[in-house]
Structure 1
């Protein structure tokens, strides 16, 4: 792993956070490969290799459907998210893919102005290297807490 690739992966993680935090859903979707997996799963289920996940999307079409639901059909108390993502750890690299992990914390602020820690955990990723840049082939958001406060609306 060379320094340039490490910086590229680090920037990719920050671009992901910016897309979600700014609710730039077209940019968020563009970060994924066409054939992709996006899961939000408890650490207990992940560690036990159990399939139950709070959210499991297995194609880019499902990502688009989720965003349509968020923006057009789901009624919820609006809130803002702020992601803090640790420096990524590169586990392996081939000519076409990178396996990496990064710890994250997501803060949620509702209109009443009180910020709260919403979710913490680790991204477990397989990133594709494409001519257009890195794309998420698989992202499993493994959260540490047993429960998610209220309901899970926005991507983690």
Structure 2
């Protein structure tokens, strides 16, 4: 499938992504995606039934940057911290052609949310289903589908999962 060096880069991609989200370093979140990269947040039920409806569907890096702007400048909400716990990624398949290599991988995730005046609670649990490509800057997400397990989500999802 892939060599150890590539798998180590994949591990770093997953852990660096979580660290950027957990450290509220929103300006760097778009850097994990290629220019035409997509980010989607979809309930498991819709995904399993092949239904396209997503809670959030960002269709390019420009839209992802716009989401960062919205999180930082226009959305008003009770601030909270989040902490990602991500399983070791599993490589599902690797495609190689003239355009390069595409790694299809997935990992389970749990996001714990802590409100400034409250206790920590499980906020969102699901599966990342990713397509990752090699760029001159290293591995980047071509697509990230966050498939969350519960139809019930508290309030709204502001920060990236």
TM-score relative to the length of structure 1: 0.97
Alignment deviations for residues 87-131 of structure 1 (CA, whole Å, 9 cap, x no partner): 000011234211000000000000113000000000000001111
Q: Give the conservation status (yes or no) of the 8 Å contact 2:27–2:68.
A: no
* Counterpart-to-counterpart distance in 2, 1:26 and 1:66: 10
Say if 2:110 is the partner of 1:109.
Answer: no
Instruction: Give the C-alpha shift of residue 60 in structure 1.
Output: 0.7
Alignment of structure 1 residues 1-156 onto 2, 5 Å = 1-95=2-96, 96-156=101-161
TM-score relative to the length of structure 2: 0.94
* Counterpart-to-counterpart distance in 2, 1:8 and 1:59: 23
Q: Aligned pairs, how many?
A: 156
Q: Which runs of 5+ in 2 are unaligned?
A: none
1:94 alignment partner, SS class: strand
* Counterpart-to-counterpart distance in 2, 1:33 and 1:148: 29
Instruction: Point out the more displaced range, 34-43 or 22-31.
Output: 22-31
Q: Which runs of 5+ in 1 are unaligned?
A: none
Question: Where has structure 1 moved over 4 Å in runs of 4 or more?
Answer: none
